[in-house]
Amino acid sequence: MSLLKKCVGLDPNFRKPLDVALIWEGNYWDDQDVHDCCDVDWETCEILVRKISKALSLPTAPTSSEDVDAGQKVLIFMPRLMQLPLTILAAYRAGLVAIVMDPLTIKNEILESVVLTEKPKFVVTVDAFWQAQQLTEVKKNIENLRGMSETQLLVIRHVAPNNGIPPPKKHFPARRPSYQTSLDLRNGQDWEWSTVMADIDVEENKYSEGEDDDDEFKWNDEDIVVKMVDEMGSSSLRLFS
C-alpha cells in the first residue's frame, strides 16, 4: 500500500471522511475565549494533499503544470505546522524527493550548504512563527543566502497580516497575525501559498470510492522519497519499497 493511500486514503473500514485527522494547537489564548486552534478532517486532508501536489508540480507557480523529472527535490523548511505532514505527502504524490529541515535547529550555513548541494526545485517555508513568546523570522532570514537567488520560495503566510488589516491597539505575544513582521515577495521568485492554492482546482471525493489515482507518481522500489536533515547537516534516508 502506498504511503499516500495508507496515510490519506479514505478506507471506510479504517477511517471515515469526516473523522478528525489533524489537530492544531497554537500558542495563544486569552480570557475572552480567543484561541489559536482548529481541527481538519480526513476528506479535507486528501483534498489539500492533492492541491499541494499540483502546486509542487508547477514549473513556476502559478502557471501550467509540467512533467516531474526523476530525482527532483523540494526542500521543506518549516516548523511543526499542519502544512508540514501534508507537504511531505504531497511531495511523495508528485514524485519529488522531500528534504525536511527544522528552522528551530538548523543554522544558516547548514541550510545554505544543503540548498547548494541538493538544488531543490522549491523551498517551502513560512514567513515566521512563534515559539512560545519568541518570534522567529524565517523567510527574511533565508532569502539572501547563497543559492536562494536561483531557488523559488513557496511561502506560507503564518504570522504576517494581510494588507489592509488595521493593527491592534495592543500587541499580544504569540497572537497571530502580528505586526512585528511582514511578508514581502521577490518578483518572479517568491509565491504566496494561499494565492497558489486558491488557483488550483481538484475534484472533491474523486478517490473516496476506491478509484485508482492516475495522477499519482509511480515510485520504483528502493527509491529515496524523504531525507530528514538534522542540525549537523546529516541526512537520515527514508526508503520506499
Total number of residues shown for the chain: 241
**69: pLDDT strictly greater than 90:** no
CATH 3.30.70.20 fits 20-59+69-204+217-238, yes or no: no
**Grid coordinates belonging to 10:** 479514505
Band of residue 237 on the pLDDT scale cut at 50, 70, 90: low
Least confident segment among 42-56, 166-180, 214-228 = 214-228
Q: What is the mean pLDDT of residues 124-140?
A: 93
From 233, 189, 213, select the one nearest 49 (Cα to Cα): 213
Residue 185 has a pLDDT of: 92
**Grid coordinates belonging to 13:** 473500514
Least confident segment among 35-39, 128-132, 150-154, 234-238 = 234-238
Residue 126 has a pLDDT of: 96
Q: What does the alpha-carbon distance between residue 27 and residue 13 come to, in Å, rounded to a whole number?
A: 35
Could you tell me if 148 and 115 are in contact, meaning their C-beta atoms sit under 8 angstroms apart? yes
Least confident segment among 22-26, 63-67, 237-241 = 63-67
Q: Which residue has the higher pLDDT, 1 or 235?
A: 235
Q: What is the pTM of this model?
A: 0.84
Amino acid at 204: E
**29: pLDDT strictly greater than 60:** yes
Residue 28 has a pLDDT of: 66
pLDDT digit string (tens) for 157-202?
A: 999 999 888 888 888 888 888 888 999 998 888 999 999 999 998 8
Percent of the chain past pLDDT 90, that is, above it, reads 38
**How far apart are the two ends of the chain, measured CA to CA in Å?**
10
**Grid coordinates belonging to 106:** 538548523
CA of 32: how far to CAs of 74, 87, 93, in Å? 41, 33, 42
Q: H or E element: which one contains 41?
A: strand 35-41
Q: Is 95 exposed, middle or buried (0-12, 13-18, 19+ CB in 10 A)?
A: buried
Residue 16 has a pLDDT of: 75
Q: What does the alpha-carbon distance between residue 232 and residue 53 come to, in Å, rounded to a whole number?
A: 29
Amino acid at 154: L
Percent of the chain past pLDDT 70, that is, above it, reads 78
**133: pLDDT strictly greater than 80:** yes
- What average pLDDT does the chain have? 82
